[in-house]
Structure 1
Amino acid sequence: MSEVSGAEGTRRRHELSEAATKKVFRRLIPFLLLMYIIAFLDRSNVSFAQKEFEVDFGISASAYAFGAGLFFVGYAVFEIPSNILLHKVGARWWLARIMVSWGLVSAAFVFVQGPTSFYILRFLLGVTEAGFFPGVILYLTYWIPARHLSRARGYFYMGIAIAGILGNPLSGGLLELDGVLGWRGIQWMFLVEGLLAVVVGVWAYFYLTDRPKDATWLPSDERQALMETVEAEDTAKAEGHGPQKVLAALGNWRVWYFALIYFCIQIAVYGVTFFLPTQVTAITGQKLGFQASLVTAIPWVFALLGVAFFPGLADRTRKHRPIGCALLLATAVGIFVSGALSGTPVLAIAGLSLAAIGFVSMQPIFWTLPTEYMTGYAAAAGIGLINSLGNLGGFLAPNMRDYFDKSVGGNAGLYSLAVAAILGAALFALTAVFKKANEIEAGHLDEVDSAADIRGH
């Protein structure tokens, strides 16, 4: 009889947890997505100012590449302490602080007058935004059971694609305000998009909820079931092979290995993103502005479709590793095609679209493995380390592309990004040697519901 009641209790708790998770998706994911759209827009809108910076302020291609990459140096330095502080003081206050401060710095780009001011502001933008992305990745583990995490991160990663679809035309349209009230178009772009971040940051303070226990917008029974599920998964992580303390996480070789994979991914992401407007205008022969920005949005439309499909597929099939590897290889092929067939605009844009599908869809799948190794402060530090070191690929990418373009010529810089994507795919495939990674692929953490039910009774 007790077995029957125990099974019924497990089923009931699972239903309540699933109902709570659906409400979490509806309430939190759209807002986090909005925050990421603005974040990606504010870190990449500088690509629309590249030509004007060069003409008006003498910021050369090499200086632009260096300054674009400096964002990730400031980002890397402050990433880990920022993520630990988020875990300590709560996501609501800390994410709001991050967003307001980066919005103010982004708006300050209206005062750029040369390479030095450009370098300083790019570095400060990285410092102020540090902790936002890994903070959200950590925040999702507080709220979403493991069986739904790739899908949740997939929705969050839609921010990259939507920023390209809506943000690029917005940036291009703001450039058309050139001369209004005596301001240049790029000044309007930086001011409007920076202040947008400030407004949403203030909103975040009043809208977000730190933990499920604080979620008064959930029915009490659903809130309790969700808390038990997430707590049981944390216990399963603690009993596994992952580090449990900050220093252990920072010294764990698997964490560094994941950082290397993410480093390769980010080389492809930002090596394409920071040069996408100029590459598209070179392919199509258009002038940079609103019309060209519509063409620039095409790869992001396909990326949005990809990230809406592939992370959910990986969760359903438990095939994170082969799907992730295939997506990175698709990125490499797409980058190569965009360069080799640059004389054929339709095929070149198709190549960029394939690359965007690959590197956007792969990233939420990637995070499935490292986030299941750690919990608590170890997760805050480990995720921060992976993201900070990985994002240094965003510093290397524009400088590497500029170096190979100048030293080898042709499309060598573009092809170097494809090599990085291939290396990332190979490294991700080798996670097959990790015992915990294989357990995750087999759905090990999906089985903790019964443990939570036993503990709940």
Structure 2
Amino acid sequence: MVLPGVTDSAELHLASDSSLGQRTLRKAGWRLIPLLSVCYMVAFMDRANISFAALQMNRDLHFNAGIYGFGAGVFFLSYAMCELPSNLLLLKFGARRWIARIMLTWGVLAAAMMFVRSPLSFYALRFLLGMAEAGFFPGVLYYLSLWFPQEMRSRAIGRFYIAFPLSNVLMGLIAGSLLSLNGRLGLKGWQWLFLVEALPAIVLSVVVWNMLPDGPADAKWMEPEERAWLLARLREDAAAIERSGGKSGHHAGVLSVLLSVLKEPRVALIGVYMFLSLGSYYAFSFSAPAIYQAATGWSTNRVGALIAGIALAGAAGMLIVSWHSDRIRAKVPYIVGLSLLTAMSFAVSGMVRQPWVMIVALGLASVSYYASQGPALSLSTTFLDGPAAAVGIAAINMLSIIGGFVGPNWMGWAIQHGGGTRVGTGMLSIAYLMAALVILIVSRKGAAARC
């Protein structure tokens, strides 16, 4: 097993003193990645737990598929609107303060979801939750680029982002139990789900405030020679990016950096890829419990266990692909190949009639999507560094999050008017085919020599 932030000896091209490099990255990995990963696991649960809550909430509040789809998606509109401002504020206030603030406010609003009584209150709280959480994910991606060199950035991001599939594991395992509390203390099961799953974010905001350094220069747990090695290695990466025509923004004003990054075509193209990929995945995942339950007739607990098993396989795929893409220094082949596999799987799910074949196809689509995320999320940092990376990552994530609004609304419309979930999931294959094509265009534009 490879530990967070660790490379094996054959991969250490990072310094003449490989033992110092190993020790430094191992320490950074253990100090940072588990905490950030747990934080993101909680974040994803608090944005996506409505997929399980909907099994009771939609019935209790008389929400149809259209109301639910819009409410699920409106979170992403406010998230997208606040993405860039949030990352710019992170640069101003520092990672520790800003990430702690994000977690505290989203925890309070996630708990407030238990007070939803009408479509309007549902839309309003989801919109506010998106505003509160905006900036966390792109902020962490930028933050990791301050600690881990290019040669292992896919692995660092993959080990952080493993929280994505693991959050589905945890949701799947506990959702049934929380929903079964229906009627306890006068609360519905879905209200218990929102309340209990929101509390960890509030607790973790205190942990982040006290434990997360703003960067290597502020890490009191790092020895002087370790800090010097890491900062020197990251400066080498920054210099290599600038020599290859990339952008850093270290010596420019905020407006100059913003305009420079937004005019970079590779940022827009990767944003389009993420819009198609993430938007399509959210279209499926927010309806996945209902789709699986309708296909199998299983209880909520059994459906949760199925989703948990698929997510565990996705987590394994994410770790393996992230490790190997760094090892061979190739991101694009993995991103394109796995996008095509996801497209094929969704196409099959829309054509078959046998429930077990549909479940296998949808499971394979989820696993291949998860596996692609390490190289996909680190692609922009092959040509962006420093403040330019903070702006570029936020811009890319802004486009991907808009996809998160479009996707669930598309699925809600498909279920209500367009022929049901088979049409909805089957049509997602087109989006993934387009996503693969976009990444091929990025590679033709020379996203980086090491893509």
Q: In structure 1, what residue type is equivalent to 2:260?
A: A
**Partners of 2:442 and 2:198 in 1: CA distance:** 39
**Partners of 1:202 and 1:298 in 2: CA distance:** 32
Task: Determine whether 1:388 maps to 2:398.
Answer: yes
Q: Deviations over 1:64-96 (max 9, x none)?
A: 001100011000000001011112211111111
Q: In structure 2, what residue type is equivalent to 1:319?
A: A
1:285 is aligned to 297
5 Å matches for 1:148-227?
148-227=152-231
1:240–1:436 Cα contact (<8 Å) kept: no
Q: Deviations over 1:282-328 (max 9, x none)?
A: 121023x3333112212212101111101111111122111111111
2:172–2:307 Cα contact (<8 Å) kept: yes
1:283–1:342 Cα contact (<8 Å) kept: no
Aligned CA-pair RMSD: 1.6
Aligned equivalent of 1:274, options 286, 295, 299: 286
Aligned equivalent of 1:343, options 328, 340, 354: 354
Return structure 1 stretches of 4+ with deviation > 4 angstroms. none
User: Between Structure 1 and Structure 2, which shows a larger proportion of helix residues?
Assistant: 1
In the TM superposition, residue 11 of structure 1 has moved relative to its aligned partner by 4.9
**Partners of 1:387 and 1:431 in 2: CA distance:** 16
Aligned equivalent of 2:136, options 132, 137, 147: 132
**Partners of 2:181 and 2:79 in 1: CA distance:** 31
Aligned equivalent of 1:412, options 414, 423, 441: 423
In the TM superposition, residue 339 of structure 1 has moved relative to its aligned partner by 3.5
**Partners of 2:213 and 2:242 in 1: CA distance:** 25
Aligned equivalent of 2:389, options 379, 384, 397: 379
Q: Deviations over 1:85-114 (max 9, x none)?
A: 112211111111101110100000110001
In the TM superposition, residue 31 of structure 1 has moved relative to its aligned partner by 0.9
1:298–1:353 Cα contact (<8 Å) kept: no
**Partners of 2:205 and 2:346 in 1: CA distance:** 35
In the TM superposition, residue 187 of structure 1 has moved relative to its aligned partner by 0.7
- Local SS of the residue matching 1:374: coil
**Partners of 2:93 and 2:384 in 1: CA distance:** 19
**Partners of 1:370 and 1:378 in 2: CA distance:** 10
Q: In structure 1, what residue type is equivalent to 2:232?
A: E
In the TM superposition, residue 13 of structure 1 has moved relative to its aligned partner by 4.0
- Local SS of the residue matching 2:306: helix
Task: Determine whether 1:16 maps to 2:20.
Answer: yes
**Partners of 1:195 and 1:227 in 2: CA distance:** 36
2:258 is aligned to 246
Q: In structure 2, what residue type is equivalent to 1:433?
A: R
- Local SS of the residue matching 1:396: helix
Q: In structure 1, what residue type is equivalent to 2:36?
A: L
The TM-score with structure 1 as length reference comes to 0.90
1:110–1:187 Cα contact (<8 Å) kept: yes
CA separation of 1:395/1:141 partners in 2, compared to 1, >3 Å: closer, same or farther? same
Deviates more, 1:230-239 or 1:278-287: 230-239
Q: In structure 2, what residue type is equivalent to 1:391?
A: I
Task: Determine whether 1:317 maps to 2:321.
Answer: no
**Partners of 2:74 and 2:15 in 1: CA distance:** 51
Q: Deviations over 1:346-379 (max 9, x none)?
A: x332222211111112122112321222222221
**Partners of 2:148 and 2:75 in 1: CA distance:** 30
**Partners of 2:33 and 2:99 in 1: CA distance:** 14
Aligned equivalent of 2:272, options 246, 255, 260: 260
Task: Determine whether 1:93 maps to 2:97.
Answer: yes
1:339–1:415 Cα contact (<8 Å) kept: yes
In the TM superposition, residue 27 of structure 1 has moved relative to its aligned partner by 1.4
**Partners of 1:350 and 1:147 in 2: CA distance:** 34
Deviates more, 1:225-234 or 1:335-344: 335-344
Q: Deviations over 1:398-419 (max 9, x none)?
A: 1112333444415211112111
**Partners of 2:364 and 2:280 in 1: CA distance:** 12
1:297 is aligned to 308
**Partners of 1:307 and 1:123 in 2: CA distance:** 30
2:8 is aligned to none
In the TM superposition, residue 248 of structure 1 has moved relative to its aligned partner by 0.9
1:401–1:417 Cα contact (<8 Å) kept: no
1:454 is aligned to none
2:106 is aligned to 102
2:342–2:365 Cα contact (<8 Å) kept: yes
Task: Determine whether 1:84 maps to 2:77.
Answer: no
- Local SS of the residue matching 1:440: coil
2:4 is aligned to none
5 Å matches for 1:38-49?
38-49=42-53
**Partners of 2:443 and 2:432 in 1: CA distance:** 18
Deviates more, 1:106-115 or 1:368-377: 368-377
- Local SS of the residue matching 2:146: helix
1:357 is aligned to 367
1:106–1:194 Cα contact (<8 Å) kept: yes
Q: In structure 1, what residue type is equivalent to 2:407?
A: A
Q: In structure 2, what residue type is equivalent to 1:286?
A: W
**Partners of 1:218 and 1:269 in 2: CA distance:** 39
**Partners of 1:422 and 1:46 in 2: CA distance:** 28
- Local SS of the residue matching 1:297: helix
5 Å matches for 1:394-433?
394-410=404-420, 411-433=422-444
Q: In structure 1, what residue type is equivalent to 2:367?
A: I
- Local SS of the residue matching 1:113: coil
In the TM superposition, residue 241 of structure 1 has moved relative to its aligned partner by 2.0
Which structure 2 segments of 5+ residues have no match?
1-13, 250-256
Q: Deviations over 1:142-198 (max 9, x none)?
A: 000110100111111111110111122212211111111111111111011111111
In the TM superposition, residue 394 of structure 1 has moved relative to its aligned partner by 0.8
**Partners of 2:273 and 2:427 in 1: CA distance:** 16
**Partners of 1:49 and 1:338 in 2: CA distance:** 24
Deviates more, 1:307-316 or 1:333-342: 333-342
Deviates more, 1:333-342 or 1:424-433: 333-342
Deviates more, 1:192-201 or 1:328-337: 328-337
